[in-house]
């Protein structure tokens, strides 16, 4: 019986030690290994106690072993909970510090852009002033992707405004409506630009452009951020034959289709000199 008692004590001590390891650990694999070892040690203690219970006057020992098993389970749950809470707190602290760093860097980038606003064209300066309040509102989010999306959204709006100013008068001169749609996508190394201009009959100008256009002008490009000059692009012009009269088709060809290269080149030149220069500066200052 003496040897069996030592076995129980040894198993109980091992369980306690493993519980201590679990409480001290933060790595999930270590916690799991320690708790599994503790559970095995308790199982050994119960098994030995059950064997002793077959002998005279050993019932109390079995009860003590079972109480130890229950107590170990409770302690194991408590220590695991504490270890998990500690890990969660450490993760939250790390995220908070990272967020604070992003906020500081974004705020610093904005201050640098505003402080050097004279480096940009007149339109570029107007763009900076428009996005300044937008960025201020986004700083607390500490979300670089949201900030970039807001910048692109504002640039898309201004690009469409530019295209409307050039194309709407031409379209209206031949009784058409022009609806531009610009999509921008910015990465750390390049920018993607998609430009669509839909031409509709005046009675359809409030309708879905994609479904009711009688003609569409479009182009797309991808440019490295380090290249601030407008690239050469191929501008497509397609007609919807089912909705186009011959006379109107000829007018569109003369007034718009033949001038499409110059119209889009003018837009891209303005975009790269006015807005892209601002993007380039901001991207270089934002945290990666």
User: So what's the pLDDT on residue 2?
Assistant: 43
Kindly report the backbone phi and psi dihedral angles of residue 216, in degrees, each rounded to the nearest multiple of 5, phi listed first.
-135, 130
Kindly report the backbone phi and psi dihedral angles of residue 270, in degrees, each rounded to the nearest multiple of 5, phi listed first.
-65, -45
Residues of the chain with pLDDT under 50: 1-6, 8-9, 56-58
Identify the architecture of domain 144-285 in CATH.
Super Roll (3.15)
**Domain locations along the chain:** 2-93, 144-285
Enter the tokens of residue 67: 């109480």
227 three-class SS: coil
User: So what's the pLDDT on residue 95?
Assistant: 61
Kindly report the backbone phi and psi dihedral angles of residue 141, in degrees, each rounded to the nearest multiple of 5, phi listed first.
-75, -20
The proportion of the chain whose per-residue pLDDT surpasses 70, expressed as a percent, equals 60
176 three-class SS: strand
pTM of full prediction above 0.75: no
Enter the tokens of residue 200: 């509709």
């Amino acid at each position: 019986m003496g040897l069996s008692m030592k076995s129980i004590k040894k198993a109980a001590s091992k369980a306690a030690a493993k519980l201590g390891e679990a409480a001290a650990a933060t790595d999930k694999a270590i916690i799991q290994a320690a708790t599994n070892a503790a559970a095995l040690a308790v199982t050994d203690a119960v098994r030995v106690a059950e064997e002793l219970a077959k002998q005279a006057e050993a019932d109390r020992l079995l009860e003590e072993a079972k109480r130890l098993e229950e107590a170990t389970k409770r302690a194991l749950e408590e220590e695991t909970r504490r270890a998990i809470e500690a890990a969660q707190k450490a993760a939250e602290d790390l995220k908070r510090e990272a967020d604070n760093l992003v906020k500081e860097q974004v705020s610093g980038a904005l201050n640098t852009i505003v402080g050097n606003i004279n480096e940009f064209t007149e339109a570029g300066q107007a763009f900076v002033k428009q996005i300044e309040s937008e960025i201020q509102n986004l700083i607390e989010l500490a979300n670089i992707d949201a900030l970039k999306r807001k910048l692109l959204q504002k640039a898309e709006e201004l690009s469409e405004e530019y295209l409307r100013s050039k194309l709407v008068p031409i379209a209206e001169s031949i009784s058409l409506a022009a609806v531009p749609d610009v999509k921008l996508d910015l990465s750390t190394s390049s920018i993607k630009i998609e430009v669509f201009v839909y031409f509709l009959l005046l009675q359809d100008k409030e309708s879905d452009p994609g479904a009711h256009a009688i003609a569409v002008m479009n182009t797309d490009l991808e440019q490295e951020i380090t290249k601030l000059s407008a690239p050469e692009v191929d501008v497509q012009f397609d007609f919807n034959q089912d909705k186009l009269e011959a006379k109107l088709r000829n007018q569109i060809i003369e007034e718009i289709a033949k001038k499409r290269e110059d119209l889009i080149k003018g837009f891209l030149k303005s975009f790269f000199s006015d807005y892209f220069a601002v993007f380039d500066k901001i991207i270089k200052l934002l945290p990666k």
